[in-house]
């Protein structure tokens, strides 16, 4: 842990402004204000250089699921670094932690998943999938199957292929994306629709947009469909119950590979090990990252189904793809320790049966606030929608930035949540106590009041 004087020593905000280009940041805007400097953390709380203690209801960036300050994870990294800090898995080499983790992942993942390809992040995992999917169809003698279907407002990462898979228009406008062979269809966002259909009808229609795209392009040209079980960065969009069963039917019927992006939903966020378990889908690929190490070290990977992996193996030939840090030993050691924590402390079950239902009940009480048009939460992944008019569910003018106003109140009152437009999202750590859940909802209500006053 950094010494106290180091935490408050140099003028971090000045140095930050001079030298540091942050991710997803308007620097001109940031320089008018100042960065919040986070110095340390414990349990569910982060602490900033101004001495504020803030309840982290985003688990960092959807990742610190086991909470901060876990000695088991710290010790696992240190021990592995002493033993073997780095070696690669190229050139017919491997090391115990990466192999042990591959075996552990097989145990916690769906039955068709017996093999894993390691990466350093969720973005790298999705870039890997774009190449692996196309390689698979080449080997299957169907090289025409190149096109991957995704959804508007999806988030699959920031590298060129991952951002292309994603459906974020502002990202596509920077750098000439998407790359060829990726098409986007509607997302299953009932709240964002005109509400003329029931959620179930709307869910079926959203799934059938995939079928329409397949028929327009030709099934013989479609390689795969990718979706987050619940869209995270897009605003915690929980699909209607009809959606995923219909997507699975369509993938089966047209022989299209299913990619379940588990970067946020993997490792217990929904109260099951994976989103695919929660929705009962049978994916061929499950990219993961974040929660695999509870964010303590960067690690990602792709779980690959038997039919794909066996094709890659049996048909032979080298797949020219891999990263220096594929299967990094220290990151793998932390992942093993983290999965052991999830198992030994029953944290996935805790999300399903204890803290999940407890927080959900409180969370839904926010729906009584005059500014809130909808609340939703599955496991420990939730959102509420700020509306101008509760009856028509009409939104505020986008330029007012009401979501951002509310988010700023939240942080200044000791609670981190994210604003996606006027949708406020939350994903607290699995170790959240009942008292912390109470605190979260109390602060949220108070800040909705403050937001209401501010915009009046």
From the CB of 217, what's the least distance to ligand PXG, in Å? 24
From the CB of 201, what's the least distance to ligand PXG, in Å? 26
Report strand pairing: 418-420 vs 285-288.
unpaired
Task: Name the strand (E) or helix (H) holding 261.
Answer: none
Residue 45: what are its φ and ψ, rounded to 5°? -115, 145
Nearer to ligand PXG, 242 or 423 (CB): 423
From the CB of 187, what's the least distance to ligand PXG, in Å? 13
Give the span between the Cα atoms of 154 and 166, in whole angstroms.
Answer: 5
From the CB of 233, what's the least distance to ligand PXG, in Å? 4
Cβ-contact 366, 372 below 8 angstroms: yes
Determine the residue with CB nearest ligand PXG: 122
Nearer to ligand PXG, 263 or 347 (CB): 263
Q: Which two tokens stand for residue 279?
A: 């929705």
Nearer to ligand PXG, 331 or 369 (CB): 331
Residue whose structure tokens are 């303590």 = 296
Q: Which two tokens stand for residue 33?
A: 């204000």
Give the span between the Cα atoms of 82 and 329, in whole angstroms.
Answer: 11
Cβ-contact 120, 325 below 8 angstroms: yes
For helices 96-108 and 329-344, what crossing angle results, to 10°? 40
Give the span between the Cα atoms of 422 and 437, in whole angstroms.
Answer: 22
From the CB of 455, what's the least distance to ligand PXG, in Å? 24
Return the closest-CA partner of residue 59 out of 445, 438, 436: 436
Cα separations in angstroms, 227 against 146, 152, 247, 348: 17, 10, 10, 22
3-state secondary structure of 407: helix
Binding site for ligand PXG (CB under 6 A): 61, 121-123, 126, 155-157, 228, 232-233, 261, 263-264, 289, 300, 418
Nearer to ligand PXG, 9 or 175 (CB): 175
Nearer to ligand PXG, 261 or 422 (CB): 261
Nearer to ligand PXG, 61 or 411 (CB): 61
From the CB of 113, what's the least distance to ligand PXG, in Å? 17
From the CB of 157, what's the least distance to ligand PXG, in Å? 3
Nearer to ligand PXG, 124 or 374 (CB): 124
């Amino acid at each position: 842990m950094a010494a106290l004087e180091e935490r408050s020593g140099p003028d971090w905000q000045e140095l930050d402004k001079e030298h540091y280009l942050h991710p997803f940041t308007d620097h001109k805007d940031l320089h008018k204000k100042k960065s919040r400097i986070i110095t340390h953390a414990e349990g569910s709380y982060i602490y900033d250089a101004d001495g504020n203690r803030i309840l982290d209801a985003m688990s960092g960036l959807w990742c610190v699921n086991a909470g901060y300050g876990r000695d088991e994870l710290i010790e696992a990294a240190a021990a592995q670094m002493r033993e073997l800090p780095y070696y690669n898995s190229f050139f017919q080499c491997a090391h115990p932690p990466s192999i042990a983790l591959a075996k552990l992942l097989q145990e916690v993942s769906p039955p068709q998943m017996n093999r894993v390809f390691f990466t350093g992040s969720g973005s790298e995992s999705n870039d890997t999938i774009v190449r692996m999917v196309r390689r698979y169809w080449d080997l299957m003698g169907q090289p025409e199957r190149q096109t991957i279907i995704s959804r508007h407002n999806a988030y699959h990462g920031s590298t060129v292929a991952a951002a292309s898979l994603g459906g974020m228009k502002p990202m596509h406008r920077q750098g000439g994306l998407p790359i060829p062979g990726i098409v986007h269809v509607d997302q299953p966002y009932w709240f964002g629709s005109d509400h003329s259909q029931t959620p179930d009808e709307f869910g079926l229609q959203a799934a059938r947009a995939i079928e329409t795209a397949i028929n327009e392009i030709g099934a013989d040209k479609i390689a795969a469909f990718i979706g987050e079980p619940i869209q995270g960065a897009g605003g915690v969009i929980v699909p209607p119950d009809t959606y995923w069963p219909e997507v699975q039917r369509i993938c089966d019927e047209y022989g299209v590979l299913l990619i379940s992006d588990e970067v946020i939903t993997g490792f217990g966020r929904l109260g099951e090990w994976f989103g695919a378990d929660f929705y009962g889908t049978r994916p061929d690929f499950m990219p993961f990252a974040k929660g695999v190490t509870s964010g303590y070290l960067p690690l990602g990977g792709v779980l690959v189904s038997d039919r794909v992996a066996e094709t890659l193996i049996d048909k032979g030939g080298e797949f020219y793809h891999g990263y220096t840090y594929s299967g990094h030993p220290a990151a793998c050691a932390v992942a093993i320790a983290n999965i052991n924590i999830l198992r030994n402390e029953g944290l996935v079950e805790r999300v399903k049966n204890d803290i999940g239902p407890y927080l959900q009940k409180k969370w839904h009480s926010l729906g009584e606030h005059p500014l809130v048009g909808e609340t939703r939460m599955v496991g420990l992944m939730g959102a509420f929608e700020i509306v101008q008019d509760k009856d028509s569910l009409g939104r505020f003018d986008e330029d007012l930035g009401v979501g951002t106003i509310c988010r700023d109140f939240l942080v200044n009152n000791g609670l981190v949540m994210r604003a996606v437009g006027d949708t406020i999202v939350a994903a607290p750590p699995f170790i959240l106590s009942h008292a912390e859940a109470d605190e979260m909802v109390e602060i949220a209500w108070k800040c909705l009041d403050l937001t209401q006053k501010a915009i009046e």
